[in-house]
Structure 1
Amino acid sequence: MDSTSAQAHHERARFLADPLGLAGRRFLVTGGSRGLGREIVHLLVAAGAHVATCARRPEGLRRLEEDVAVTAAAPLYTQALDVTEPGRLEAFTAAAADRLGGLDGVVANAGGAHGRDLRSATAADWAATFDINVVHAQRLVKAALPHLGAAGGGSAVLISSISGWKPAPQAQYGAAKAALISMAKSLANELGPDNIRVNAVSPGSMLIPGRRWARMQEQDPQAFARFTAQIPGGQLVTPQEVARTVVFLLSPWSSGISGAHIPVDRVQNAPTPDGY
Structure 2
Amino acid sequence: MDLGLRGKRAIVTGGTKGIGRAIAETLAAEGADVGICARTEGDIAPALEALRSHGGKAEGSAVDVADGDALQAWVADMASRLGGLDIVVANVSALAIADDEAGWQNGFKTDLMGTVHLVQAALPFLEKSAAGAIVTISSVSGREIDFAAGPYGAFKAAIVHYTQGLAHKLAGQGIRANTVSPGNTYFEGGVWNQIETGNPDFFQQALALNPTGRMGTPQEMANAAVFLASPAASFITGTNLVVDGALTRGVQL
Aligned partner of residue 234 in structure 1, secondary structure: coil
- Equivalent residues in 2 for 1:42-191, closer than 5 Å: 42-74=25-57, 76-114=58-96, 116-117=98-99, 121-122=100-101, 124-168=102-146, 169-191=148-170
Aligned partner of residue 150 in structure 1, secondary structure: coil
Could you tell me which amino acid in structure 1 is paired with residue 152 of structure 2? Answer: Y
Aligned partner of residue 51 in structure 1, secondary structure: strand
**How many residues of Structure 1 are paired with residues of Structure 2 in the alignment?**
248
- Equivalent residues in 2 for 1:163-242, closer than 5 Å: 163-168=141-146, 169-218=148-197, 223-242=202-221
How far, CA to CA, are the matches of 1:226 and 1:148 in structure 2? 43
Is the Cα–Cα contact under 8 Å of residues 96 and 106 in structure 2 kept in the other structure? yes
Could you tell me which amino acid in structure 2 is paired with residue 242 of structure 1? Answer: M
The offset of 1:201, in angstroms, is 0.7
How far, CA to CA, are the matches of 1:202 and 1:55 in structure 2? 21
Root mean square deviation of aligned Cα: 1.8
Aligned partner of residue 133 in structure 2, secondary structure: strand
The offset of 1:70, in angstroms, is 2.1
How far, CA to CA, are the matches of 1:147 and 1:199 in structure 2? 18
The offset of 1:127, in angstroms, is 2.4
How far, CA to CA, are the matches of 2:97 and 2:218 in structure 1? 25
The equivalent of 1:32 in structure 2 is 15
The offset of 1:222, in angstroms, is 5.8
Aligned partner of residue 186 in structure 2, secondary structure: coil
Unaligned segments of structure 2, at least 5 residues: none
% same residue: 38
Could you tell me which amino acid in structure 1 is paired with residue 168 of structure 2? Answer: N
How far, CA to CA, are the matches of 2:97 and 2:129 in structure 1? 40
How far, CA to CA, are the matches of 2:186 and 2:108 in structure 1? 24
The offset of 1:249, in angstroms, is 0.7
- 1:145-198 Cα deviation digits (max 9, x unpaired): 111111134100010011101112341111100000101111100111110100
The offset of 1:212, in angstroms, is 2.8
The offset of 1:230, in angstroms, is 2.0
Q: TM-score, normalised by structure 1?
A: 0.85
- Of the structure 1 ranges 132-141 and 161-170, higher mean CA displacement relative to structure 2 is found in 161-170
Unaligned segments of structure 1, at least 5 residues: 1-14, 271-276
The offset of 1:138, in angstroms, is 1.0
